[in-house]
Every structure is written in structure tokens, then in C-alpha cells.
Amino acid sequence: MKIDKKDLEKSQIEITIELSTEEFAPYIEKGAIKVSEKVKIEGFRPGKVPYDVLKQKIGEMTILEEAAHIAIMKTVDDIVEKETTPRQPIGQPNITITKLAPGNPLEYKVTLALLPTIKIGEYKGLKLKIEEVKIDKKDLDSALQDLREARATEKLVDREVKTGDKVMVDIDLFLSKVPVEDGSHKNLPIKVGKDYFVPGFDKNLLGLKKGDSKEFSLVYPEKHHHQNLAGKKVDFKIKINDVYEITKPELDDEFAAQFQLKNIDELKKALEENLLEEKKRKADLKNESDMIAAIVAQTKFGDFPDVLVDNEANNLMSELEESITRQGGKFEDYLKHLKKSRNELMLEMMPNAIKRVKSALIIREIAIRENISPSDKEIEEKIEQLKVQYQGQDNIIKMFEEAGYKSYLKNILTNEKVIEKLKEWNYANTGNQQKS
């Protein structure tokens, strides 16, 4: 068997494999048997048709094509593994038969992408500074007000709009007297004083009553998320449909009792602890990101194959779509709001996809270098935890026992272990996380 390997651009390789006439001969026999099992020829049982009879009936190339398929399936995996070690193939290989004729060797080519080469920089002793975490009075006050608003009551009133009211409004937007696309809103709820819609909008509602209409103009901020309106003068036509007076509960022991707490001090303490944990979680994610970025900055990568970046961009797109759906939205509406096609949004995701690919490559390289991986016991313990978490959901629990899931879980736990080790190596004591 002759094997020739050639490097291509973007971390791809091409392997040419040739089986001699003698090496290919046993596969031709197998191919003939396989074809004869599918073809009905009078006087012969399936699988027992002589080669010459079969050749005359269906043509020799049909037999050779089946033989080539069998030969490739039998030989390609071992060859690819041998020729790509220690680098890892990604995606599906592209296999092309390049020589197939009676009395000749079989030749086929395999083109596949590999993980890019990586020359990792220093990843220990970077002496990075951990982000300080603290809760100040402003954070706590804001959270308490959010709780009050969440437990507020509404009462329909017949009076002029005041700050703090909820108003149901019909709104039409115009640019140079031309209606703005998607700029018509019916019975839109507005909490007066929050300026959620656009700065200055709420002030134009004050003093109006149910049934009142008004026209006014506002200049949108230069960095407004509606890019077609950013920095432009927009004309508004509004109509007040209903006015609701919002009554927020007092911050007292009775309010704390709604959360099964004894008094307001206990509520403040619990809220402060929750806020601190949330800030710690966000700071921890930022610290991880900064740490990986510092290692990426001094690491050299080979060319990325397109399939690697494309797959990660697709993952990002799927995560975004899932998040929008989980919140009750529709992804197509989201794209319409952005005024972008799926492909345009995918293109914008490419830099983040490359960033995530680099992070994953670094974690993989460190895991190999430092021999970091979870034990079989740790994997089984994690699966048992998941079974308890998903108790009663038999279809999910069954998935946990599949070999593919265990491999996936091993990869997740390996990544977690590498991150924890990197923190030990590169961050000082984390005891400066505090509250005030």
C-alpha cells in the first residue's frame, strides 16, 4: 500500500492512498458477493453468482465501485489515525476515488482538517490581579426598590399622568413625515419616569389624561440601539388609553414577611448576600476571561481550518437563538429587529468564535501537558448528581449512561479542572472579595 501525505492551507492535509492490484483483489471478491446479494439472476442464489456472469449482467464497474467502498471503509480510519497523530482531525473527511479501473490499483484521496498547531506561551505565575467584589449602599438600595416595584399594586385612575404612573399609550413614529418601519405601537405600557422608551419621552406624558393626544419631536441618542433612528429627529404622535396609579409597599417588617423573613433587617442581609454572590459569580467569569486572554496574547496559533471557526460560530448562533426562545421571543423577530439576515449576524459572530476557539485550544493543550483529567469515579459521581437533579425524567437519565455523553462530560470536567489550576497558578489569594 502506498501512502502519500501533503499539507494544504488552513491546517488541512491531503492523504493519497493506493492499494495495489493484489491488495485490491480480495475486496473485489467481497464487492462481487455484496452486489450479487442484491441482484436477481435466474439460476443462481443471491450471493452465489459467478464473477463473469455477474460482470456480463451488470457491468464490471458496478462491482469495482462496491469493492472500492468496502476497501475504503476498511482501511481509511487506521491510515488517518496514523498519518495525523499527534494532531487531531476535526469534522468529516472528504473522500474521493481518483483511480478505479479493471486490472488496475485502487487510488483514493482523503482531505481533512486538523486542529491547528499551537505554541503556547507562559501560563503559570502571571501574577494577575483579581477583581475586587463588594456591595455598596447604592447596589442594595437599587435592589430593594426593584423588590418594591415587583410587589407593587396598580389602580386604574381618572386623572392627569404623574411620575411613577403606568400609562397605556398608542405611539406612532415618523421621520420627515414618513412612518418609521415597525414604529407603530398599540397600547404600549410605559412606566413614567423610567425613560425606557427614549430619553425625554416620559416628560411629554405628564399632565395628559385618558383620551388625550399629543404630537412632539425628540432627537434620538447617537448610540441608540435602533440604528436607523440614532442621532435623528423623530416625530411622535401619541394617544393616552389608560392611566394606572402604582402603589409600592413600604420597606418594613410586614414587607419582609412576604419573603418568609422576620424583619426588614433580615431581608436586607439576605438580599446583600445574594447580590454579593451574584457579583462574585460575574467577577469570577471576568477573571477567567482575563486570565485566558493573557495566555492567548502570548500564544502562537497555526492557521484555523474554516470548519473549526464555522462550527463555533454556529454554536454561538444556537446559544443566542435558544436564549431568545427561552425568554418567549422568536429568533426571526429578533433578526428583523436588527435588520440583519442570519448570515450577516453569523459574520459578526466570527471574531467571538475565533476567541472561543483559541480559549478551547489553550485549555486542551494545558490539559495534555499537565495530564489533567477527571477520574472515572469523578465522572460517575457527577452522573449520579445529575440523575438526582433530573429524577423522574427517564429520557434524560438514560442519556447520562451513553458513552457519548460520558465523553462529553469528561471534556467538561477536564476544562473545569484546568481553569481551577490556572487560577491557582496565576491569581493571588482571593480573600479580598468583600462587602461593605
The predicted model gives 4-21 an average pLDDT of 95
pLDDT tens sequence across 286-328: 999 999 999 999 999 999 999 999 999 999 999 999 988 888 8
| 61 or 47: which leads in pLDDT | 61
- Asked if 192 contacts 162 with a C-beta cutoff of 8 angstroms, the reply is yes
- Which CATH number is 99's domain given? 3.30.70.1050
**In a shared domain, residues 166 and 74:** no
**In a shared domain, residues 185 and 332:** no
Output the DSSP codes for 284-353: HHHHHHHHHHHHHHT-EE-PPPHHHHHHHHHHHHHHHHHHHHHTT--HHHHHHHHT--HHHHHHHHHHHH
* Residue 140 included in any domain: no
**In a shared domain, residues 109 and 158:** no
- Which CATH number is 210's domain given? 3.10.50.40
Q: What percent of the chain has pLDDT over 70?
A: 98
- Our count of domains for the chain comes to 3
* Residue 348 included in any domain: yes
The confidence band for 263, taking pLDDT boundaries of 50, 70 and 90, is very high
Say yes or no to pLDDT of 68 above 90.
yes
From 212, 247, 282, the end of a domain falls on 247
* Residue 299 included in any domain: yes
Q: At what angle do helices 21-36 and 60-84 cross, to 10 degrees?
A: 120
**In a shared domain, residues 217 and 291:** no
Q: What is d(CA 301, CA 121) in angstroms, rounded to the nearest whole number?
A: 11
pLDDT tens sequence across 128-176: 888 788 888 999 999 999 999 999 999 999 999 999 999 999 999 999 9
At 326 the pLDDT is 86
- Which CATH number is 349's domain given? 1.10.3120.10
At 78 the pLDDT is 94
pLDDT tens sequence across 84-127: 988 899 988 999 999 999 999 999 999 999 999 999 989 999 99
Closest CA to 192 of 154, 249, 223: 154
**In a shared domain, residues 405 and 273:** yes
**In a shared domain, residues 291 and 410:** yes
* Residue 374 included in any domain: yes
Q: What is the rounded average pLDDT for all residues in the chain?
A: 91
The predicted model gives 12-29 an average pLDDT of 96
What's the whole-model pTM score? 0.72
* Residue 377 included in any domain: yes
**In a shared domain, residues 226 and 292:** no
* Residue 342 included in any domain: yes
At 429 the pLDDT is 56
**In a shared domain, residues 312 and 164:** no
* Residue 433 included in any domain: no
* Residue 123 included in any domain: no
**In a shared domain, residues 292 and 381:** yes
The confidence band for 49, taking pLDDT boundaries of 50, 70 and 90, is confident
Which amino acid is located at 351 in the chain?
A: P
Say yes or no to pLDDT of 255 above 90.
yes
At 401 the pLDDT is 84
**In a shared domain, residues 345 and 399:** yes
**In a shared domain, residues 210 and 346:** no
**In a shared domain, residues 193 and 98:** no
From 180, 213, 247, the end of a domain falls on 247
Taking the CA of residue 11 as centre, how many other CA atoms within 13 Å lie in the half-sphere pointing to its CB? 20
Say yes or no to pLDDT of 190 above 60.
yes
Say yes or no to pLDDT of 41 above 80.
no
Domain interval for residue 217: 153-247
Say yes or no to pLDDT of 381 above 60.
yes
